[in-house]
Structures are given as structure tokens and as C-alpha cells.
Structure 1
Amino acid sequence: MSNNRSGSFIGGVLLGAAVGTITGLLMAPRTGKETRQFLKKSADALPELAEDLSTSVQIQADRLSESALRNWDGTLERLRDAIAAGVEASQKESQILKGNEVTPEPPMLDRL
């Protein structure tokens, strides 16, 4: 869920940047030559922007991966505890039944 929200946020940032750039270009009181120079500088800066964005995405992915591993470890630990408790309860019940030599009553459906 968090991963989906991060992806949506990044997508929104990129869409907002694109819309803002286009709107700015259409509304800007610059000459064609000035606008072309501006676009050239912006295009030259794109590789750096892409690298920064890539680094940010990688950092976020690493954080999500670490979080998922911690959650998985916690789930496995709870599962181990539950299995151990079930085995222990089963063994105790088995000892009680063997010690008392009592046959358990059949379930209600079997008696009908």
C-alpha cells in the first residue's frame, strides 16, 4: 500500500512539473530566441534531474524493502509461536487422554 502511494506521489510530481512547464512557456512574455535558449538549458538539465529522481526512487525502494523484511520476520515469529503453542496443547491433551484412558465423546453430529 505504501509503495502504491509513493508511486502515485512521484507520478503526480512529474505530471505537475510537466503541466507547469507547458503553462509557463505558453504564458511567458519571452521572445522565441529566449524561449529556445531556456528550453535548451532545461533539456541540458534533464539528465541530472533524471539521475536525482532515480536515486530518490532507489532510496525509497530500499526503505520499503527493509520494512517488508521486518514485517515478514515478525509474521514468521508469530507463526512459529502459534505452531509451538498448538503442538504443546496437542501433546498435553494427548497425555491427558492417555493418562485417564478415557475415550473422547464423538462430536455431536456423530451421535445423531
Structure 2
Amino acid sequence: MSKQDQTGVFIGGLMIGSAVGTVLGLLIAPRTGKETRKTIKKSADALPELAEDLAATVQLQADRFSESTRENWEDTLDRLRLAIAAGIETSRETARATKLNSSEQNLNSSITTDRL
């Protein structure tokens, strides 16, 4: 897992852990029912902002991952293009060498036949 992915997971876990901890703390705290409901309402009112922050963090991490993947893909394509070009060039050189070798053999055969 890359450092960027680990950061996103950490931030997401931190936000979710904070929300769960807040709710559990409110339910366990020795307060009256009215005070607890008031505190829960405040926390519930803060949830949309927390969800928005989490969504923004997830989107940011997804964008970073997407960019990283695109760059890696482009690097892979560049290496593949170079490998294909090298293969084509090697194939051409082999064909030339084979053709030249064949021509030399034909010439040698022709010279040998002429001598006989």
C-alpha cells in the first residue's frame, strides 16, 4: 500500500473513530436524559459536515491514486513501445543478415558451379 493510500485510510479511520467515540461517550456519560439528547443532537447536526470532510478526503485520495495509476500506465506503455521497437529492429537486422548470408551462399554456389 502506498504512502498516499495509507494517509487516506488513516484519516478516514480517524474520522470514523471520532464519530463512534463521541456517540459512545455520550451514551455512557453520567448526564441526565435531556442533556444527553441535547449533546446527541449537536453531534448529529455535525455529522453532515463530518461526512462532507470524509467524502472530500476520499475524493482527494481517489484523485491521487488515479493520477499515480495513469503515470504508471504511461511509463509501462513507454517501456512497451521501446521493447516493440527494439524487437522490430532486431527482426529487421536478422532478416538482413539472413538475406545477406543467403546471397553469399548463392554467390559461392554460383562460383563453384562455374569452376566445374
- The higher-RCO structure (CA 8 Å, 6+ apart) is 2
Partner Cα separation in structure 1 for residue 25 and residue 5 of structure 2 = 30
Q: 1:48 to 1:11 in 2, by over 3 A?
A: closer
| TM norm structure 1 | 0.76
| Residue 77 (structure 2) pairs with residue 76 (structure 1) | yes
Separation in 2 of the partners of 1:61 and 1:12?
16
Correspondence for 1:99: 100
Shift of the 60–76 alpha-carbon distance from structure 1 to 2, 3 Å rule, reads same
| Separation (CA, whole Å) in 2 of partners of 1:78 and 1:93 | 22
Calculate the TM-score normalised by the size of structure 2.
0.73
Identify the residue that residue 87 of structure 2 maps to in structure 1.
86
Q: Computing the radius of gyration over CA atoms, which structure comes out larger, 1 or 2? A: 2
State whether residues 26 and 36 of structure 2, in contact with CA within 8 Å, keep that contact through their aligned partners in structure 1. Answer: yes
In 2, Cα distance between equivalents of 1:22 and 1:8: 21
Q: Which one-letter code corresponds to 1:38 in the other structure?
A: T
Could you tell me the percent identity over the aligned residues? Answer: 62
Deviations 1:66-100 (A, max 9, x none): 00100000000000000000000010011000001
- Partner letter of residue 41 of structure 2? K
Q: 2:39 is matched with which residue?
A: 38
Gaps of 5+ in 1: 103-112
Q: CA RMSD in A?
A: 2.4
Length, aligned pairs only: 102
* Aligned residue type for 1:34: E
Name the CA distance, whole Å, in 1 between partners of 2:100 and 2:80.
30
Q: Which consecutive aligned stretches of 4+ in structure 1 deviate over 3 angstroms post-superposition?
A: 1-15
- Structure with greater proportional helix content: 2
Q: Any stretches of 5+ residues in structure 2 without a counterpart?
A: 106-116
Q: For 1:9-52, what per-residue CA distance to the aligned partner results, in whole angstroms no more than 9, with x for missing partners?
A: 46644553354234312431211111110000001111111111
